[in-house]
Amino acid sequence: MSVEVLEDYQPILTKPSYMVVGMPDAGLVGVIATEYLIEKLGLKEFGSIYAPGLLPPISHVKDGIAKSPIKLYHGNNLLVFHSWIAIPSEALFPISKEIVKIAKKYGISTIISITGLPIEDRLNTTTINAYWIGNGQEVAQEMEKIGLMKKFGDGYIAGPYAPLLIESRKENLNNFTIVVESFLDLPDPEASALALSILSKYVGFNISVDELMQEAEEIREKIKGLMAQTKAELPKYASGKPMTYA
């Protein structure tokens, strides 16, 4: 069983270039963020990921056309990896390797992942925090210097982004994860908005998250099916432990 990338064409990126990764896990924070990014920056779809035998038999249908639910987008100095399905645990390492391979092919400077950190009483929390997890000392020093987020400290991360941190380090490619406090099994657009604000400052593009905040309830309703599928996968990522723990 292998992972296959089908590209309609090869995009040309300006430098420095970045790859943003959004995969379903806690609060769907990464997926909401990358979907909003794709829409508001007008990113173009140029490729799809296929993994027969590793992924569930699901196709994403848009405008009456069925396609792979895992897609690649681009624009200016950005590549975006966006998944419309929760990726099974057995597929995470093969797909992480493919993400790193794509990033190296296009000369990506840094992979940036976005995820949620489930916290108790999230419903009554008015201020949420963001942390960073890097895959090496160089990234850690940069994050400390920039000061956009707090350091995650000691703990563990489980799920889609854990193998990506490992695989990117093996290939000497910088990778950090934006970790935002969130719900576990409810879509959390507010957490995604904070992640996007941090991302825009780091990469250097302008994007307003006002609409994301205004449409929070509509977004929750729209992607409740994806949340249900993701909720079924979450226990497999961490073997009953919390998704991310500091």
pLDDT digits (tens, 9 = 90+) for 56-94: 888 888 888 888 899 999 999 999 999 989 999 899 999
Q: Annotate 123-133 with b (16+ C-beta within 10 A) or e (fewer).
A: eeeeebebbbb
pTM over 0.85: yes
pLDDT of the residue at 240: 47
Whole-Å CA distances, 130 to 75, 136, 148, 190: 26, 19, 9, 12
> Residue 244's beta-bridge partner residues?
157
- Which of the four CATH numbers 3.40.50.10900, 3.40.50.720, 1.10.260.40, 1.10.357.10 does domain 4-245 have? 3.40.50.10900
Smallest CA-to-CA distance from 199 within 207, 187, 210 is with 207
What is the Cβ-side half-sphere exposure of residue 46, based on CA atoms within 13 angstroms? Answer: 17
CB 27 within 8 A of CB 70: no
> Residue 70's beta-bridge partner residues?
83
pLDDT digits (tens, 9 = 90+) for 94-126: 999 999 999 999 999 999 999 999 998 888 888
More confident residue, 184 or 218: 184
Smallest CA-to-CA distance from 190 within 32, 55, 22 is with 32
- What does pLDDT average to over the chain? 89
d(CA 212, CA 210): 5
Smallest CA-to-CA distance from 134 within 77, 90, 173 is with 173
- By residue count, the chain amounts to 246
pLDDT of the residue at 242: 45
d(CA 75, CA 55): 27
Is 229's pLDDT higher than 70?
Answer: yes
Q: Would you place residue 184 in the very low, low, confident or very high pLDDT band (cuts 50, 70, 90)?
A: confident
Is 198's pLDDT higher than 50?
Answer: yes
d(CA 100, CA 111): 8
Q: What percent of the chain has pLDDT over 70?
A: 93
